[in-house]
Amino acid sequence: MDYGFVRVAAATPNIKVADCFYNAKNIIEDIKKAEKNKTSIICFPELCITGYTCSDLFLQDSLIEDSKSALKEILEKTKSLNITCIVGMPIEYLGKLYNCGVCFYKGKILGIVPKTHIPNYNEFYEKRHFNTLSSTKDFFIDKDICENAIPFGNIIFQIENIKNFTFALEICEDLWSVIPPSSNYTLAGANIIFNLSASNEIAGKSIYRKELVKNQSARCICGYVYASAGEGESTTDLVFSGHNLIYENGRLLNESKTFENSIIYSDIDLDYINSEKRRNTTFKSIINNNFENVKYKIDPISFDLDRYIDTMPFVPKDEEKRAIRCKEIIDIQAYGLKKRIEHIGIKNVVVGISGGLDSTHALIVINRTFELLGYDKKGIITVTMPCFGTTDRTYNNAIKLCKIIGTTLLEINIKEAVLKHFEDINHDPNIHNVTYENSQARERTQILMDISNKYNGIVIGTGDLSELALGFATYNGDHMSMYGVNGSIPKTLIRYLIEYFAKNSNNDLEDILMDILNTPVSPELLPPSENGNISQITEDIVGPYELHDFFLYNMIRYNYTPEKIYYLAKKAFKNNYDNATILKWLEKFYIRFFTQQFKRSCLPDGAKVGSVSLSPRGDFRMPSDASLSAFLERIKNLK
């Protein structure tokens, strides 16, 4: 299966100005290379058959005739190849010359698209030679290159036997115009835009060009393949660098080196593009009768995905960008809490501190909030509540952390209260089951709630996004608070947030935070081992958080099927987990996600910080009793 991916290419061939047959030979070679590399569509630069810089030679009959003969040669030499090709050439129609993109497959021309916006920066530019088509669609017949009428004008191409594979062409200046044709093409259903370009190079233009393609692909929610003219064009007045680009909804997939004629490839995710359009209700699809629809089928292409798959999609890989993101996230959390505190009109907040990741980060956010408010940090009521599973390491780290920040620290040992509760409900404390564990969590929450009443404050929740997705929280225990600051922070990101804060803190605080980062993740609800170490490791119970966060992101952000998530996970984690392990935890993820929705249906308020959130008020609405069977059936058929 291709799982919605298609391989595309942007090519800059070696050319000679006005030597159509030399150019055709090199175009054919590049097409063959791309076909061997399992490419579905390859796009070449503007007027690549003749060369873009022919100037008044475009008016010569010889060049026009040679370009048609060269196209026929390309069609003949590629008719056995399973690849769609897009080349640029001048086309004469009813006595007028047009700068066109010609799309063909297996020797058959599918459609011809003339350039919409003809530049006229000076008397030597294109308006001297080329025209704008007066009609948006027409049909073209030229016995020299085709026997049948060919669609000529605004065209959307559709490969019928590949889901969501629709594309359109625009040519160079079209993209630089106020309203590029690609805007309307994508509104009418095109998922990939191919741009045949001859963009000259001047200082700083490559940066602007990248931004232009990036932004257009993002606005149009599409793949964008940009193929530009390069070395071989005339340098009488301009230089061309062959700057090729492939973007997907604002994300750069591949880029060529400038001044180096080459082919670049990328695997575009059609499922992702379609999902984003479906999600974005302001992206208003249109039915445009001014476009010709060309449908055709291709032979199936199987290929090994050649694309970076991020194992931690919530975490920016670039260290500088990650630092900026971490500061931004902490500020979003802090300003959200600041507004809530000001609205209620209180000076105190209450938070349970365990010495673990989540409560530590919540305290970091509260600390930042109090700095913004200018409040005395003694108003941060931190409560540590040791019980059966508390270890010396987490206890001591919690105490030290609170003292360095300067909070009001309360220590309340809950062992006796929980034992009394066991007696009340007739539970044997030697039975370490879910009752044993959840009784501690609910006792802690009761204490926090009552302390917040005592100090006229609110309880700040510490549970994170990963725990919410898995339902790994005690209902009406750590599941509940009066404002949850970590509700959209996944476990794989929370470590980097704490690390960022640590690196920007004094040495004493940094040492404590780094030790907290190195402590195994645990709810500490079961007694420690004989040597006093944590005996209950969360990831031994629910599975690796890096896998679950990967599953969550791809399921919620991209709406992928279990099959596609498994396929991507195998690629991404091939050096970390075997297929059986990935499949085991994928099944566990879906089971927990579906069966634990009732906990997410009544979450406390909390600010959204990223593109994935499970808030029931706006980001993710799901029936608490939605059936899991169809999803499990898909997973059971995987290997």
Say whether both 598 and 498 belong to one domain.
yes
Q: Domain with 343 in it: what CATH number?
A: 3.40.50.620
321: tokens are: 């960008």
Q: What is the pLDDT of residue 524?
A: 58
In a domain, 602, yes or no: yes
Tell me the CA end-to-end span of the chain in Å, nearest whole number: 14
Residue 197 vs residues 11, 239, 368, 386, 637: alpha-carbon distances, Å: 11, 14, 50, 67, 46
- Going by their DSSP bridges, the two strands 96-105 and 41-43 should be labelled as unpaired
Q: Indicate if 358 and 237 belong to the same structural domain.
A: no
263, 296, 329 - which closes a domain: 296
If asked whether residues 335 and 261 sit together in one domain, one would say no
Contact of 225 with 263, CB cutoff 8 Å: no
| 258 and 338 belong to one structural domain | no
Could you tell me the CATH number of the domain that includes residue 245? 3.60.110.10
Residues 257 and 333 in one domain: no
541 domain-assigned = yes
pLDDT at 535 over 60: no
Q: Per the domain annotation, does 435 fall within a domain? A: yes
Total domains in the chain come to 2
Same structural domain, 334 and 441: yes
Q: Quick check: is 515 in a domain?
A: yes
How far apart CA 42 and CA 48 sit, in angstroms, is: 13
270 shares its domain with 345: no
Coil vs helix vs strand at 426: coil
Asked which of 234, 265, 296 is the last residue of a domain, the reply is 296
Q: Any idea which residue has 């301009």 for tokens?
A: 238
Beta bridge partners of 348: 457
Both 546 and 601 in a single domain? yes
Could you report the per-residue pLDDT of 357-397, keeping only the tens digit for each?
999 999 999 999 999 999 999 999 999 999 998 888 989 99
> Are residue 289 and residue 359 in the same domain, yes or no?
no
Tell me the residue range of the domain where 437 lies: 319-636
Is residue 12 assigned to a domain? yes
User: Are 424 and 524 within one domain?
Assistant: yes
- How many whole angstroms separate alpha carbon 294 and alpha carbon 151? 8
1 pLDDT more than 60: no
Q: Is 162 left (phi over 0), alpha (psi -120 to 50) or beta?
A: beta
Return the higher-pLDDT residue of 402 and 133.
Answer: 402
Residues 40 and 298: beta-carbon distance below 8 Å = yes
Does residue 219 share a domain with residue 152? yes
Candidate ranges 33-47, 109-123, 383-397, 537-551; pick with highest mean pLDDT: 33-47
Give the residue from 228, 262, 296 where a domain finishes.
296
pLDDT digits (tens, 9 = 90+) for 607-637: 999 999 999 998 899 999 999 999 999 999 9
Mean pLDDT of 585-613: 96
Q: What is the pLDDT of residues 106-157, one digit of tens each?
A: 999 999 999 999 987 654 578 889 999 877 788 887 878 887 899 999 999 9
| In a domain? residue 308 | no
Q: Nearest 5°: phi and psi at 35?
A: -65, -40
Active site residues: 46, 115, 172
What rounded mean pLDDT belongs to the chain?
Answer: 94
User: Does 567 fall in a domain?
Assistant: yes
Within this chain, do residues 57 and 135 fall inside the same structural domain, yes or no?
yes
Looking at the domain assignment, is residue 301 inside a domain?
no
